A and B are shown apart, each in its own frame.
Chain A
């Protein structure tokens, strides 16, 4: 069964850092790009960042570029989101998700259960 198990998250103060993890199982991890999508309380979905299967290409939303870093460890089948200089507007549930097919431009077919990040003093 294809699964994404998320960890990390929590309550931090503005300016602090946090790292989210997403451990994959049930598929050949290196063959698939992975992504992070967030959802602020009561709001819609916002794409945050994506990383290719080999890790050679990373993309970011303007709202997080320069503060967030996506990475992956294909030996551990895990993708990460390092979040620095956190702001109140980063408060959201963060989902990791898998691309539906190997390649770049595909929708997201498997989602993790989400992890809450709260940035507040």
Chain B
């Protein structure tokens, strides 16, 4: 099975700061990598797929990069509505696996 790790596990940012979350796969997954946002008490939502493609309707302050085993989610200027837990997920092979999540809050 492919293991996914994320860092940091949590972070606190100021509005307007740049936020970067890292995701690492235990083996090469090419660009079969998605990022999801789950706001408190809400359903997960797809943010980015194929490592760097923004899902329709997602603000352009979100971006993704990486390939192979190392990936990054960047929020260029976080807004109060971006308070959430962010999960990466590989869909290169079954079982699909999620990272443990990164909880983002704002100072």
Contact = CB atoms under 8 A, between A and B. Distances in A.
- Please tell me the size bucket of the interface on B: 20 to 34
A8 B36 CA distance: 25
Contacts of A111: 43-45
A11 interface: no
A43 to B, nearest CB: 9
Interface string A95-121: 100001000011111011110000000
Given A95-B44, A107-B49, A47 B55 contact: no
A105 B91 contact: yes
A45 B34 contact: no
A45 B95 contact: no
Given A50-B94, A62-B95, A105-B32, A45 B87 contact: yes
B98 A109 contact: no
What's the dominant secondary structure at chain B's contact region?
A: loop
A112 B42 CA distance: 11
B92 A107 contact: no
Given A47-B98, A106-B49, A108-B34, 20 more contacts: A35-B96, A44-B99, A44-B100, A45-B36, A45-B38, A45-B44, A45-B87, A46-B98, A47-B97, A95-B44, A100-B46, A100-B49, A107-B46, A107-B91, A108-B46, A109-B49, A109-B55, A111-B43, A111-B45, A114-B43
Interface of B: 32, 34, 36, 38, 43-46, 49, 55, 85, 87, 89, 91-101
Interface of A: 35, 37, 44-47, 50, 59, 61-62, 95, 100, 105-109, 111-114
